[in-house]
Chains A and B, each alone.
Chain A
Amino acid sequence: MTSTKSKVLWGIVTVLVAVYALFPVASILATSFKAPSDLTNQKFLPSPGRATTGNYEQILVGDAQGLFLTALRNSIGICLISTFIAVVLATLCAYAIARLDFPGKKLVLTTALAVSIFPVISIVTPLFNLWRSIGLYDTWPGLIIPYLSLTLPISIWTLAAFFRQIPWELEQAAQVDGATTWQAFRKAIVPLAAPGVFTTAIIAFFIAWNDFVYGISLTSTEAARPVPAALAFFTGASQFEAPTGAISAAAIIVTIPVVVLVLAFQRQIVSGLTQGAVKG
């Protein structure tokens, strides 16, 4: 029966899902082009002829530049470093879990699970106090360290799942064919493991990029404040002006890398999330 009818049906379903997934993004995108005086037009889109890029100018080259661009730099730097550390540690750990037999393997995995469901706010109070007394408050390392509690557990689970699927016999086969140990590892195993490591890095980065609790609790100035926290501190051009437009523009800018990554690597992200599935 089907073909045309089911094609149309699936077309409609896909459009519905796309509307569900993209509507809030479209909403804030439209808001980001509204002029301050146009914000109260009670409409989805800016009033005709009044759309403006003023909000983007304000945060990229204007008054709010210092606030936003520093926060963006902090976010990118802190999240990349924390992701990098987590992925390196997790690669070693997941290799051992997938390939070696040692007592405590289950303990390591259970700990990763427990850490990933840990209420973040419970760690914040003691860290806040500790960081203030040892000088890590409002610094990059002061966020990179607690971010490991977000990025490390998911990395371990995702990578362990990936590594378990690698046919490690290939390494031996390569050695039988005359490759040295290192060659066998580099030529047979690394190409198989690399996509898993890369996917894990993306997922871990998303989680760090999303953090808000650590960001507002453990920083007080632009020295280390990441974007999500900075958004909550945005103020309007004057005290009588709502920061709505500037926040929307900033929100769109930090959403772009996410959308690009999702578009480019959706297949890998889905398989990473469902195989290692601990926590998104």
Chain B
Amino acid sequence: MNKLSVNLRVNGRGYDLEVASNKTLLEVLRDQLNLPDTKYGCGTGECGACTVLIDGEVVNSCLTLAAAADGREIRTAVGLEKNGQLHPVQQAFIEETAVQCGYCIPGMVVKSVGLLEKNPDPSEEEIRHWLEGNICRCTGYEKIVDAVKSASKKMASAEVKAVG
């Protein structure tokens, strides 16, 4: 088993690291970078608890070799806050009470951000289709879908304000 030198940019901060060849990005985030917000749920790409954004695209970090993420821009739930302000998606999850046990939520929030950055005004059907791949066992998805809709409106009005 070899080790590889990689540079990961995580939540805006650069890390030069040695990673073992068989380590997934999930393991490196949690165990080497001490960023446990990204969760292990199944390890096989089914549950989405490990979802991160790599260069703006949602990805299962449990199925990504850490070495393959060399040079890429990674964002996780804990890095979404800006200047002490929660991301509109996080704010919407709070307002809609879209959280119960919370274990799926970092992945769910990241997944929702990944949608709204590409498709700022998704239909309910598009939201539900997009949330496939992230399992929540507590909420029946109802309030999570409401939160994504509400976040979409928040982001649109923030955009208008910024332009206006």
**Pair from one complex:** no
Interface residues of A (CB under 8 A from B): none
Interface residues of B (CB under 8 A from A): none
